[in-house]
Amino acid sequence: MPHAPQTESAGRPVHVPAPADVEVIGLIPLLAPYFRKGLVEGAMPEPLLGTMKAHHLTPRHGAVLPQLLAGELTVGELARRLRVSLPTASELVGALNRAGIVERDEDPANRRRVLVSLSPDYRPAIERFIATRSEPLLRALDTLSPRDRAGFVAGLAAWTREILA
């Protein structure tokens, strides 16, 4: 449901939530514990946790890892999926590569492209970590009909775009 702008902040309209929006907005703070650093680190297995700390890698670096679970990707594809610039994606991959968590290889089909994959040394720890962290979301998605699931994904994607805009 579109909202009429009420005022402006930093040149962008600010919307006052409609009564129907309050329930959704009230759920957001309930998710905060899931994203707290201590909870994330508590679920992260060694040697991944130690390496992330030793190399001062952040959650932004960690966002690259689930993208690589299904296989290698180009830096450009990672940038698109993470909704960051190509230089930012390259910096993230570079730091993860220096830490030994990911590997970079020349694309045999196009030498100008770099393919990024999870290091075999870290893949088992990354798979365990992502499986543990994603379990509540996957259980929730399992309760939704295909239509509701598509709506949830569409809403989450729209919210992500707004946050990153």
Domains, the chain, ranges and CATH?
59-145 (1.10.10.10)
Q: What is the pLDDT at residue 53?
A: 95
Q: What is the mean pLDDT of the chain?
A: 89
Residue 5 has pLDDT above 80, yes or no: no
Residue 15 has pLDDT above 60, yes or no: yes
Residue 3 has pLDDT above 70, yes or no: no
Q: What is the pLDDT at residue 10?
A: 62
Q: What is the pLDDT at residue 40?
A: 78
Q: Specify the long-range contacts of residues 69-75, CB closer than 8 Å, at least 24 apart.
A: 69/118, 69/126, 69/127, 69/130, 71/117, 72/105, 72/115, 72/116, 72/117, 73/115, 73/116, 73/117, 74/107, 74/113, 74/114, 74/115, 74/116, 75/113, 75/114, 75/116
Who has greater pLDDT, 13 or 127?
Answer: 127
